Structure 1
């Protein structure tokens, strides 16, 4: 009987090469046994066929490259082989231990290992010969493993001339040691741009590639890459090596190869590194975790696609899930800059996969590498840097739009640091006010008050002829799309006197300008008819001017976020027809970005090749109480005390409390619902206490400025408010000292404790003690000594903590002094690392997320942040929170409506799921009655399983997801898993009353069949539940519609929402347009849900919340004729997630922050940008009212009287940003004119007068 030898491997090409070797040996009749290699990975299922293969084997090998091993499949195989007493060997590249069983000796393990790891055709042939001899009883001769170098430099010589090292030595011996960094090098770099082949001295670029590629000579793409780099005037040093050390073979890995070849005499000799390895370079424990940081040069990631060229080129999905994971997500943890695609998968005549060069992309990649490589060579005084403000909407009130950041003040500090570092400037603005005055006095994106005088001040221009000459060189697809959307080049946007004008100002070698308009304001019709339209010609001309005319060496996009990374195109691995690539080209993109908005930062990283510089969230603190709230709190305390101390005498105060509640319109937010007065007042007391201690913003962040003074104290209090992993919550420890639970005190604020004080007052005392602790530490210098001193101080001793809480307090204090304080002090590196990036240095990576939501490990900022691996979400913790949020939503609906909701619409974003590790996904699953199955050890989600109805204890709820374009791009594997959840439950043997998904799918399928759709297709289409933006596009359209004022009724907003969101996604669906089916799903929705996972960003901070969630409300209202319930799940405190209605959440933010003098005064400190954000606050609130009808008359009156018409605020805004005041008045008047606000006559008159005065003043100012 023929013997069988099986080798399982998770490396496809290794599998193919082993089979090829076995095939040739059989053809040559060298062996008689069946030798077969089989591919497996973490998703391979164990089947009956697997058992048959294992059963007939003489010996089985499992070879695994990478982490996350063993797999479920390999474990199942092992158990079967052990049971049947079969011989096997299991090994992993990251685990030195090799597992073997049943007559496999140590010598065999070593022999097999050497064949495999030495690799190559001869070794693979001799491996089979050896195995046939030892385990199949054949008598054939074989050679021992042939050794090849584990690492080395590869010679792809192209007559490069003298060696680079000789030239380094020659330069180093020169008497003028500074020549390398001054004029000589500048001349050389300049000549690189013109005559690269003429250089004798060029920057050296290290290239890292796999040893396997070298051994098998799979180097076609590398040769092409090296040719392209050398054509750009660069030298190359290609190094092959193993991904990590192989301990068993004593073989050095990647980090040791870098140290050997990229250093000379202890100094780095390369100016940049190109990495072609997939997965993270620092994932293995065998690699030095700091080797890239020590190397300190930009690392550009080159992608090797796992698909053929046509599949990549034609698809909007530049990366399928597995490509995204290994090429993009994992390398981001290393701090790489995304360079682009360099190869695609092809097959030779034997069916062996190889990487074919993608020449056009390689050329683009090489240009990008050159730009980054030369940064370390250029003198700072010669560098030309473009600083780009975002500007949405494209008007003068919003220049420098950036979430949570005082962008003008930040740029001034950045310019100051650049000037000190030697960058050439004509003058330095004294502050943000002066900078904005200079900018707004010139040519900007705002055409409302544009004059000839301002046009003449344009920073530059691109002539008709120049643009057309460039345009015809673009991909034919780009030319066609641009011409269809915007007419013949150069279009009409900002086209004056046969030129396209460039906004902004030049200041020596620094350009400061505004990103051009995206285009929807220039042609509002595109909002409805062409959501995936390209940007106008002017947009492309702007970046072309920066790159080719102004000769920028790098750009700095300031703050969160711009439009470049959201232009149409692939999700990653962009092509020459993707608009971010067309616009930006090869310019190094350095991007200070809000570290909390992690998903959108990842978008800039992947689609704009950005080097992110994560910046801190704005100053934050507790809301406290003010004005009416302060008076109400006093009355509530008085009422509670009288009720206990003088029963019966509290009635007078009770009346005052109820009167105050009415005056403050609290009954709209806290319905009495027939509660007795006492119970209702307790409810109000709890509400006030929660408002008092809610987290609010107290200003804006300034780049590179650590929190100081009171801001630092409040920051530390907020960071220690909730648990940080194993670090306990400070206020909960103090509550324990009083024998109380924090949440119970909060929920029972009006109740009297045994000592006679209310729970609210005790909670206040808890926060006072927390403040005293933080104050003590800050006043003592936040040192370890200060912490030790605190623990023996009278303040702590008086708490009489038990041993457990004493230890907890010590843990928190140590956390503050040894981690939080030092890391917050490092906020300065937001500026220094921006300059280091401009110097071509490596920016250390770090995680992204919300520091104040239990993620203080995000600190310090200033790092190149990364996101999460979608294969790991939802995590077990996120699953529990998602379940809780789902239960809260369902139970609240039952309480309000008296029955189960049948259909729920969820808005699902990448950002929040990256921060929360998939809480929304968990809620989506649990509502349907499906749960994740995690792989043991790695906790990767390997499967889904149905939750039995007996365990679920309710019907399965039908869920329609409106995902963002970013979620589609960053989490394609999760989208497929969501689709699988629907498929798991839609056909279960359950009644319609038990399974609403089944009910709706079958009913909709029947309707489709009646309309003429075949049965199979009808059932498939009726199952679609995941809808999103058009392929390659982003957004919901509603915000553009509202901002452009081109709508009349809620039906107009609904139409644009449906048009933008009616694209179906799933494993085999990549954005097919299905307008009627999306409308059908929306028509059934009972509840809409948009969750929040932190309090650094809320519903009034951005128009995206309203565009997606408010847009869904408007669509359901329009189609169904009834406004759905809208719930906001809040998991900022992971230990106590809670669900509120949309109205409750809007009013919570309105009372706690928007009208709070603490917030308003904090914004006043930030001049132009503070005024701009206040105007945006009003605009965003107005937007919610347009879609969801959530603002009451008294709230509009509050905005008008507290902001627009307040004499102090009005004067301040008029001084620092009159355009923002104009916008604020305009939005309020628009609300009144649309009948959304029944304004008091005197308020309306005052606003009209203000608006007219501002119109005149701004016209005069422009002239």
Structure 2
């Protein structure tokens, strides 16, 4: 069969014919799970496959064989020479009916040992009908595949080889991986109380799926632990099959409650709330930072204005928001490795993105620092919006007296022991200025990415030409109240064009705006935005999973942002939370 394949991939995947270019082998494993395939590759290598001590093997992801033409090519070029085939399905037979039908027909025609198994841990007797091996063999294979890990995968391949009349040597080692447990880069799998080395340093937990462990796909978890350790944390990973599985959730809650972490980084997906409405990660009352282990490639993320695919957005952002998670960004991307010449397979695994890992760890450190600083030493900035209104409006917001609200917040903080003073009035704010020298701005600006600085210069010229510059310094509408700063958010552009530019996602902010936030980063431990809505969440950049070249992140960095938002506008509130909160 001769076919010309043309492919185009992005965040919106379409089914296109694919030729995997694999020669026949004794055994073939097909799965929708990269974790399955990674474990099988590790099990085959562990059993001496490269030295000829195991039957030859091919691995492929079913996602690459969804098009009927892809199935036909793969059956003809690869499966025709197989003696044993294992298929792991997620979603049952309806997800891949044509592929299962063609492989089952080939197996019966050629006498191939075929085992079709559910890949989600739930029994599915309907898949037995496609198989040609005895039910007892199916159940043994199912058990080994569900256990996961390299040893169990090696045993599954040996079992498949036996069913196909091939020899594979005995399998040594424990075939079971704990359903829950602790993990560190130094200890591997360990007891949480042993792995959480005692000390004065604050503890950071990294929650992740057991499937990453059994697939040896822990690079982003390891990178997170190392980055957290570099910032003074004792870092410990906790793994489980799910945050909602009752036994696993109970175990996680007990560990979190006992270990009392300063911060938690959550690398699992979806909402973790159980039937009681609680998540096990909330047991210690610590900040929980949500991260995305993206299923897309880095190139797709870099090119996409929206940042994440719809599936990743739902799994890693929207549903965890139900639990009140603080989205800290994307930690890794799914990337194919080099094609293994023996398996004729390029394993797809999570590759950590170092700048994003660093940004996540910086956010964790900032939230921990905010919690650990004594109330009397904390610094806070209250930034009031300038939502389009009349020229005489000051701190205008929808349905809110922003100045009175800021004053009330200061009063509450003072009662809680913060060294701040209330008594803010419109007249005070209108008349007050805080100055920041141009030289300090230029030094801070030099630390921004080149692309942002070039865009700023192209749009607005030199800093000294900004109307807010007076006598060599920016003059911000701001006043100090003890260890608090109360400020009016600067215009992002020209005052006369406020209505047109306020929501413009392509308009580069002016120098005074950039200077204001760079100044704030050295003045405060946390930013509270008062009044919906501001302009920070409307600056150019990705919609979610921002990079350091997105203006909202470039201006706020790791600074904790707290943003009380009007209750009747959840859409814009979500945008603000995902881009700056």
TM-score normalized with structure 2 length: 0.78
Gaps of at least 5 residues in structure 1 are 168-200, 430-434, 443-456, 611-1263
1:557 equivalenced with 2:548 (yes/no): no
Partner of 2:206, secondary structure, is strand
User: After superposition, what is the alpha-carbon deviation per residue over 1:718-767, rounded to whole angstroms, capped at 9, x for unaligned?
Assistant: xxxxxxxxxxxxxxxxxxxxxxxxxxxxxxxxxxxxxxxxxxxxxxxxxx
- The whole-number CA distance in structure 2 between the counterparts of 1:489 and 1:217 is 51
Q: Which residue of 2 aligns with 1:1215?
A: none
- The whole-number CA distance in structure 1 between the counterparts of 2:498 and 2:271 is 47
User: After superposition, what is the alpha-carbon deviation per residue over 1:1139-1196, rounded to whole angstroms, capped at 9, x for unaligned?
Assistant: xxxxxxxxxxxxxxxxxxxxxxxxxxxxxxxxxxxxxxxxxxxxxxxxxxxxxxxxxx
Partner of 2:493, secondary structure, is coil
Which of 476, 479, 500 is the aligned partner of 2:474? 500
Query: For the Cα contact (< 8 Å) 2:460–2:510, is it kept in 1?
Result: yes
Residues 227 and 27 (structure 1 numbering): CA distance in 2 closer, same or farther, change over 3 Å?
Answer: closer
Query: For the Cα contact (< 8 Å) 1:15–1:39, is it kept in 2?
Result: no
Q: Which residue of 2 aligns with 1:334?
A: 323
Q: Which residue of 1 aligns with 2:429?
A: 439
Q: Which residue of 1 aligns with 2:559?
A: 587
Query: For the Cα contact (< 8 Å) 1:35–1:128, is it kept in 2?
Result: no
Query: For the Cα contact (< 8 Å) 1:547–1:587, is it kept in 2?
Result: yes
- The whole-number CA distance in structure 1 between the counterparts of 2:116 and 2:355 is 44
Alignment of 1:629-1028 (within 5 A): none
Q: Which residue of 1 aligns with 2:387?
A: 392
Q: Which residue of 2 aligns with 1:571?
A: 543
- The whole-number CA distance in structure 1 between the counterparts of 2:42 and 2:465 is 57
Which of 500, 513, 516 is the aligned partner of 1:542? 516
1:368 equivalenced with 2:363 (yes/no): yes
Following superposition, the deviation at residue 149 of structure 1 comes to 3.1
Following superposition, the deviation at residue 49 of structure 1 comes to 2.9
Which of 270, 274, 285 is the aligned partner of 1:280? 270
- The whole-number CA distance in structure 2 between the counterparts of 1:228 and 1:478 is 26
Following superposition, the deviation at residue 365 of structure 1 comes to 1.9
Partner of 1:586, secondary structure, is coil
Partner of 2:563, secondary structure, is strand
- The whole-number CA distance in structure 2 between the counterparts of 1:218 and 1:208 is 14
Residues 378 and 96 (structure 1 numbering): CA distance in 2 closer, same or farther, change over 3 Å?
Answer: farther
The structure showing larger relative contact order (alpha-carbon pairs under 8 Å, at least 6 residues apart) is: 2
1:143 equivalenced with 2:166 (yes/no): no
Q: Which residue of 2 aligns with 1:39?
A: 62
TM-score normalized with structure 1 length: 0.38
Partner of 1:505, secondary structure, is strand
Residues 334 and 526 (structure 1 numbering): CA distance in 2 closer, same or farther, change over 3 Å?
Answer: closer
Paired residues, number: 532
Q: Which residue of 1 aligns with 2:257?
A: 263
Which of 120, 123, 128 is the aligned partner of 1:93? 120
Residues 587 and 35 (structure 1 numbering): CA distance in 2 closer, same or farther, change over 3 Å?
Answer: closer
User: After superposition, what is the alpha-carbon deviation per residue over 1:620-662, rounded to whole angstroms, capped at 9, x for unaligned?
Assistant: xxxxxxxxxxxxxxxxxxxxxxxxxxxxxxxxxxxxxxxxxxx
Following superposition, the deviation at residue 338 of structure 1 comes to 1.1
Query: For the Cα contact (< 8 Å) 2:468–2:512, is it kept in 1?
Result: yes
- The whole-number CA distance in structure 2 between the counterparts of 1:51 and 1:310 is 28
Residues 326 and 375 (structure 1 numbering): CA distance in 2 closer, same or farther, change over 3 Å?
Answer: same
Q: Which residue of 2 aligns with 1:885?
A: none
Query: For the Cα contact (< 8 Å) 1:12–1:39, is it kept in 2?
Result: no
Following superposition, the deviation at residue 94 of structure 1 comes to 6.3
- The whole-number CA distance in structure 1 between the counterparts of 2:37 and 2:72 is 17
Gaps of at least 5 residues in structure 2 are 1-23, 109-113, 188-193, 341-345
Q: Which residue of 2 aligns with 1:382?
A: 377
Query: For the Cα contact (< 8 Å) 2:476–2:516, is it kept in 1?
Result: yes
Q: Which residue of 2 aligns with 1:476?
A: 450
1:297 equivalenced with 2:294 (yes/no): no
Q: Which residue of 1 aligns with 2:13?
A: none
Following superposition, the deviation at residue 89 of structure 1 comes to 4.0
Query: For the Cα contact (< 8 Å) 2:385–2:396, is it kept in 1?
Result: yes
- The whole-number CA distance in structure 2 between the counterparts of 1:3 and 1:546 is 62
- The whole-number CA distance in structure 2 between the counterparts of 1:379 and 1:110 is 58
User: After superposition, what is the alpha-carbon deviation per residue over 1:195-234, rounded to whole angstroms, capped at 9, x for unaligned?
Assistant: xxxxxx3322111233344455544444443333233333
Q: Which residue of 2 aligns with 1:869?
A: none
Residues 406 and 394 (structure 1 numbering): CA distance in 2 closer, same or farther, change over 3 Å?
Answer: closer
Alignment of 1:235-274 (within 5 A): 235-243=234-242, 253=248, 255-264=249-258, 269-274=260-265
Partner of 1:146, secondary structure, is coil
Residues 488 and 408 (structure 1 numbering): CA distance in 2 closer, same or farther, change over 3 Å?
Answer: closer
Partner of 1:300, secondary structure, is strand
- The whole-number CA distance in structure 1 between the counterparts of 2:50 and 2:28 is 18
Query: For the Cα contact (< 8 Å) 1:464–1:498, is it kept in 2?
Result: yes
Residues 246 and 421 (structure 1 numbering): CA distance in 2 closer, same or farther, change over 3 Å?
Answer: closer
- The whole-number CA distance in structure 2 between the counterparts of 1:536 and 1:85 is 67
- The whole-number CA distance in structure 2 between the counterparts of 1:426 and 1:357 is 44
Following superposition, the deviation at residue 384 of structure 1 comes to 1.8
**Of Structure 1 and Structure 2, which has the larger fraction of its residues in helix?**
1
Q: Which residue of 2 aligns with 1:344?
A: 333
Query: For the Cα contact (< 8 Å) 1:316–1:570, is it kept in 2?
Result: yes
* Higher Rg: 1
1:202 equivalenced with 2:201 (yes/no): yes
Following superposition, the deviation at residue 470 of structure 1 comes to 1.0
Q: Which residue of 1 aligns with 2:88?
A: 62
Q: Which residue of 2 aligns with 1:918?
A: none
CA RMSD between the two structures: 4.0
Query: For the Cα contact (< 8 Å) 1:60–1:88, is it kept in 2?
Result: yes
Residues 73 and 57 (structure 1 numbering): CA distance in 2 closer, same or farther, change over 3 Å?
Answer: farther
Following superposition, the deviation at residue 284 of structure 1 comes to 7.9
Query: For the Cα contact (< 8 Å) 1:82–1:101, is it kept in 2?
Result: no
